[in-house]
Amino acid sequence: MLTEPAVIRRIVFWGFYHFDSQPVVDETFRVRLYDARPGDGLPGDVVYESFLLNPQRSFTGRFIITSGAPAEFRFSSDLTTPLVLDAQTPYWLEVAQDGILESHFRWEFSISGDLNQSFLNPIVGDWTPTPGDTAYQLIAIPEPSTLFLLILGVTIYRSRRAR
């Protein structure tokens, strides 16, 4: 939940490939945002969806403490459609690899005592809360036109001040 509204244009997330099975072909990640269900606050309806083809992936230099000690990666990508978030509104974020089941991609997280995560699979049938905090950043970067106007304004200000 945000204290102020924001327009998100870039996402960064951390993850790893269990059993060190990195994909050798193009990989697509699905980013979804859900609203919170009125009754229990768990993920409700999809309010945003975007697909990221081959997000920039870089090795962090760290290894995950699990079987096989897989390498941790930082993924970064601009969103194809900006994500508009309202203030004081609870959302659920999902990042999932789309279409390459044999890669065993896992989203990096840390165990916490709070029920900050939920999972959904066919065996369980409905969203189930679980303790943990996922590792991600949502970044609001200015649109190119806004950035251009900002640079133009600073340039004009400096040129007038230099006189």
Q: What is the spatial distance between Cα 43 and Cα 91, in angstroms, rounded to a whole number?
A: 8
Q: What average pLDDT does the segment 139-161 reach?
A: 57
Report residue 151's pLDDT band, with 50, 70 and 90 as the boundaries: low
Using one digit for the tens of pLDDT, what is the confidence trace for 44-102? Answer: 999 999 999 999 999 999 988 877 888 889 999 999 889 899 999 999 988 888 876 66
In angstroms, the Cα distances linking 151 to 84, 108, 159, 162 are 24, 37, 12, 16
Percent of the chain with pLDDT over 90: 29
Global pTM? Answer: 0.74
Mean pLDDT of the chain: 79
In angstroms, the Cα distances linking 36 to 11, 117, 131, 158 are 21, 12, 17, 47
Using one digit for the tens of pLDDT, what is the confidence trace for 128-141? Answer: 777 766 777 788 86
Q: Is 49 within 8 Å of 36 (Cβ atoms)?
A: no
